[in-house]
Amino acid sequence: MATAVSQPVPWYNPPKIARAVFQARRYPVVPVAILLFLLVIPAVFAPLVAPHDPLKGSLSKRLLPPVWAQGGSIEYPLGTDKMGRDLLSRMIYGARVSLLVSFITVFVGGSIGTALGLMSGYFGGKLDTLIMRLVDIELAIPTILLALVLVAAVGPSFGTVILLISLVIWTRYARQARAETLTVKEQDFVARARVAGASHTRIMLRYIFPNIVNTLVVLATLQVGTIILLESTLSFLGVGIPRPTPAWGVMVADGRELIVTAWWVSMFPGLGIMLTVLSLNLFGDWLRDHLDPKLKHV
């Protein structure tokens, strides 16, 4: 039987493209794209991408409007700030700072929280009560208050902000880890491991942790947005990332008195924060729906 040799399908076949686009709508293309362009690429490639030095400004060029407004120039596409520094460059480097702060705090806070939550759920008893009391106490301390007092004591710095935000977020990981651990530890394979003589540490690390890590990753993604927001609020109150480091929160706070005269100084970083957090939330939602639909409560 002769088989008809089919023509190769040209790549610009409209129906095929249409179907691909239609199927892609299930993936969070837009949020990821925004994240890539707004956060990841600038953060990683900052020195290559930024047109100017974010720390160096010329006082004679201060408060220039963006390029499309009257008085703006292509040299400073998004305008300049109070000290004559290029806003676009500062936004790019600011992405780096925001990302760095988020990652480190999520790592620090998340690790502590997960460890404590794991132990709390696994061992139960007095340790569990103690750790949960700690969680309650920590939740009872108003964040802002803790921030003000801590920063006044230690002085505002990158490290202080990280410490502070970690102190605030570890509780969510602890609670989540504990809840998950409680379910996992009842499983058969855990019992078998114990019978086989595995130590507690081994069981926690090798058997329980890998099963709860999914939720925690989703939680982490969802938290990056919160952290960026928290950092900007702290900066507004004067206890955030110290100047002159460009961080979006600091930039919005600095520009707040200029919101009337030089709106671009705080509008662009504000937009940056909003779009980034929005995209992170959308991405996080998708992640959650795909990794584990049971995670409605996260």
For binding to another protein (CB under 8 A), which residues are involved?
56-57, 59-60, 62, 82-84, 133, 136-137, 139-145, 148-150, 152-153, 155-156, 225-226, 229, 232-233, 236-238, 242-244, 249, 252-253, 256-262, 266, 270, 273-275, 277-278, 281-282, 296-297
Helix (H, G, I), strand (E, B) or coil at 298: coil
Residue type, 197: G
Residue type, 20: A
Please report how close the Cβ of residue 206 comes to another protein at its closest, in angstroms. Answer: 29
Q: Which is nearer to another protein, 112 or 258 (CB)?
A: 258
Q: Which is nearer to another protein, 213 or 282 (CB)?
A: 282
- In order, the DSSP letters of 66-98 are PTTSTT--TTSTT-B-TTS-BHHHHHHHHHHHH
Which position has the token pair 């686009």?
A: 21
Please report how close the Cβ of residue 158 comes to another protein at its closest, in angstroms. Answer: 12
Please report how close the Cβ of residue 272 comes to another protein at its closest, in angstroms. Answer: 11
Q: Which is nearer to another protein, 125 or 142 (CB)?
A: 142
Please report how close the Cβ of residue 259 comes to another protein at its closest, in angstroms. Answer: 6
Alpha-carbon span 251 to 238, nearest angstrom:
12
Tokens at 196, concatenated? 């086989």
Q: Which is nearer to another protein, 171 or 203 (CB)?
A: 171
Please report how close the Cβ of residue 180 comes to another protein at its closest, in angstroms. Answer: 17
Please report how close the Cβ of residue 46 comes to another protein at its closest, in angstroms. Answer: 20
Alpha-carbon span 291 to 244, nearest angstrom:
40
Partners of residue 134 on adjacent β-strands = none
Q: Which is nearer to another protein, 180 or 203 (CB)?
A: 180
Within 124-208, residue ranges assigned H as helices are 125-140, 143-154, 158-184, 188-195, 200-202
Q: Which is nearer to another protein, 193 or 271 (CB)?
A: 271
User: For residue 278, which phi and psi values (nearest 5 degrees)?
Assistant: -55, -50
Instruction: Measure the CA dihedral 154/155/157/159, to 10°.
Output: 0
Q: Which is nearer to another protein, 29 or 144 (CB)?
A: 144
Please report how close the Cβ of residue 152 comes to another protein at its closest, in angstroms. Answer: 4
**Chain-centre distance of CA 141, in angstroms?**
23
Which of 45, 42, 41 is CA-nearest to residue 87?
42
